[in-house]
A and B are shown apart, each in its own frame.
Chain A
Amino acid sequence: MKENLYKYILGIADNSLILGQRMGALTGHGPSLETDIACTNISLDLFGQVRSYYQYAAKIAGDGRTEDDIAMLRKEREYVNVLLVEQPDTDFAYTMARQFLFDVYHFMFLTELQKSKDLTLAAIATKSIKEVSYHKRFSSDWIKRLGDGTELSNQKMQNAIDNLWTYTDELFHQTEADKAMVKDGIGVDVTKLKEGYYKQVIEVLEEATLNIPESKYFQKGGKEGIHTEHMGYLLSDLQYMQRAYPNMEW
Chain B
Amino acid sequence: MSEEQIKNLEAQFEERIARDEKIEPKDWMPEKYRQTHIRQMSQHAHSEIVGMLPEGNWITRAPSLRRKVALLAKVQDEAGHGLYLYSATETLGVSRDELYEQLHSGKAKYSSIFNYPTVTWADMGAIGWLVDGAAIINQVPLCSTSFGPYARAMVRVCKEESFHQRQGYEIMIKLANGTPEQKAMAQDALNRWWWPSLMMLGPTDAESIHTEQSMKWKLKRKSNDELRQQFIDQTVPQADLIGLTIPDPDLKWNEERQSYDFGDINWDEFWQVVKGHGPCNKERMKARVGAWERGEWVRDAAMAYAEKQQERREKQAV
Among B65, B79, B295, contact of A50 (Cβ-Cβ < 8 Å): B65
The answer on a CB contact under 8 Å between A36 and B59 is no
Residue A44 lies at the interface, judged by CB distance under 8 Å to chain B? yes
The answer on a CB contact under 8 Å between A153 and B297 is yes
The answer on a CB contact under 8 Å between A250 and B298 is no
Chain A residues near B60: list those with CB within 8 A: 21, 24-25, 234, 237-238
Chain A residues near B49: list those with CB within 8 A: 28, 33
Count how many chain A residues have C-beta atoms less than 8 Å from C-beta atoms of the other chain: 48
Tell me the complex Cα distance, A91–B293, Å: 12
Residue B88 lies at the interface, judged by CB distance under 8 Å to chain A? no
Chain B residues near A31: list those with CB within 8 A: 291, 294-296, 298-299
- Given A32-B295, A250-B64, decide whether A145 and B301 contact each other with a Cβ distance below 8 A: yes
Chain B residues near A54: list those with CB within 8 A: 65
Tell me the complex Cα distance, A40–B287, Å: 18
Residue A240 lies at the interface, judged by CB distance under 8 Å to chain B? yes
Closest to B179 in A: A248
Chain B residues near A245: list those with CB within 8 A: 63, 179, 181-182
18-53 of chain A: CB within 8 A of chain B: 21, 24-25, 27-37, 40-41, 43-44, 47-48, 50-51
Chain A residues near B298: list those with CB within 8 A: 31-32, 35, 92, 146, 153
Chain B residues near A24: list those with CB within 8 A: 59-60, 68, 72
The answer on a CB contact under 8 Å between A40 and B72 is yes
Residue A71 lies at the interface, judged by CB distance under 8 Å to chain B? yes
The answer on a CB contact under 8 Å between A47 and B83 is no
Residue B302 lies at the interface, judged by CB distance under 8 Å to chain A? yes
Closest to A237 in B: B60
Chain B residues near A51: list those with CB within 8 A: 65-66, 69
Residue B142 lies at the interface, judged by CB distance under 8 Å to chain A? no
Chain A residues near B296: list those with CB within 8 A: 31
Chain A residues near B282: list those with CB within 8 A: none
Chain A residues near B306: list those with CB within 8 A: 145
The answer on a CB contact under 8 Å between B301 and A152 is yes
Residue A214 lies at the interface, judged by CB distance under 8 Å to chain B? no
Residue A170 lies at the interface, judged by CB distance under 8 Å to chain B? no
Residue A131 lies at the interface, judged by CB distance under 8 Å to chain B? no
Residue B203 lies at the interface, judged by CB distance under 8 Å to chain A? no
- Given A27-B59, A31-B298, decide whether A67 and B304 contact each other with a Cβ distance below 8 A: no
The answer on a CB contact under 8 Å between A47 and B65 is yes
Among B64, B86, B171, B300, contact of A150 (Cβ-Cβ < 8 Å): B300
Nearest chain B CB to A172 CB, angstrom units: 28
The answer on a CB contact under 8 Å between A33 and B79 is yes
State the 3 A-B residue pairs at the shortest beta-carbon distance, nearest first.
A31-B295, A149-B301, A153-B301
